[in-house]
Amino acid sequence: DKLIAATHNPGKAREIDTLLGGRFEIVTAGSLNLPEPDETENSFVANAILKARHAAVKGGLPALADDSGLSIAALNGDPGIYSARWAGPHKDFSRAMEIIHHKMVQAEVHNPDTFSTRAWFTSALAVAWPEGHACVFEGVVHGQIVAPRGDNGFGYDPIFQPDGYDITFAEMDEAQKDSLSHRHLAFERLKAFLF
Ligand code: ITT
């Protein structure tokens, strides 16, 4: 069965491929020349459905999309659904992680008693069919923001240390991250429903 992986993020595309476990013939949105839709909704779930529907309708095949991001308690949940946008048009995540560091320093100065480094990654995975129906599954992993460590993974992986581990996502190999990540948890739910 063919399935469009409706993502333009290569790091995500690799994890999606692994987490699906070779179950589908994956067609990338890039290879079909599908344009990237504007993420105009205001939740991970709604943006995932928007991206999956857009690709399924344009591509004429079922499509899977992931909308994800890092939410930080001390920043009132930012960057959250804006996680990709904080890196700017050049997808500069070093800069996005510096911005986070600065904002967290300010937050600690302003609210020293309530400040925390708590954070969570969310992945919403949507599957949509060309006829228009869709389903969506969410996974969340909690942890804390730390100074950047590690070179593996992508995006905000260097500053996220999941609860129960003393290494960041970027210090884990791909198999370890894939065994406990937000995306893994969302896939467990998706597979239980669809397969
Ligand atoms: P697509 O929409 O084409 O899939 P995108 O990168 O724009 O690609 P999102 O809109 O869902 O995807 O933005 C999510 C951002 O959150 C993404 O760019 C990453 O930087 C970050 N992110 C999501 N999952 C992550 C993970 O597992 N590790 C590190 N950063 C992650």
In short, whether 54's Cβ falls inside 6 Å of ligand 1 is: no
How many angstroms does the Cα of residue 155 sit away from the middle of ligand 1? 7
Q: Residue 67: enclosing H or E segment and its boundaries?
A: strand 63-72
Identify residue 127 by its one-letter amino acid code: V
What is the number of other CB atoms lying within 10 angstroms of the CB of residue 86? 19
- What does the pLDDT read at residue 22? 84
What is the number of other CB atoms lying within 10 angstroms of the CB of residue 167? 13
How many angstroms does the Cα of residue 7 sit away from the middle of ligand 1? 9
In short, whether 129's Cβ falls inside 6 Å of ligand 1 is: no
- Render each residue's pLDDT in the chain as its tens digit; 195 residues: 899 999 999 999 999 999 998 889 999 988 899 999 999 999 999 999 999 999 999 999 999 999 999 999 999 999 999 999 999 999 999 999 999 999 999 999 999 999 999 999 999 999 999 998 999 999 999 999 999 999 999 999 999 999 999 999 999 999 999 999 999 999 999 999 887
The CA distance from 139 to 127, in Å, is: 15
In short, whether 9's Cβ falls inside 6 Å of ligand 1 is: yes
- What does the pLDDT read at residue 95? 97
**Cβ atoms of 69 and 84 closer than 8 Å:** yes
- What does the pLDDT read at residue 194? 84
- Report the catalytic residues: 67
What is the number of other CB atoms lying within 10 angstroms of the CB of residue 26? 16
Return left, alpha or beta for 40; rule: phi > 0 is left, psi -120 to 50 is alpha, else beta.
Answer: alpha
Q: Which of 8, 39, 83 to mutate to test the pocket of ligand 1 (most atoms within 8 A of CB)?
A: 83
- The reported pTM is 0.96
**Cβ atoms of 34 and 59 closer than 8 Å:** yes
How many angstroms does the Cα of residue 113 sit away from the middle of ligand 1? 31
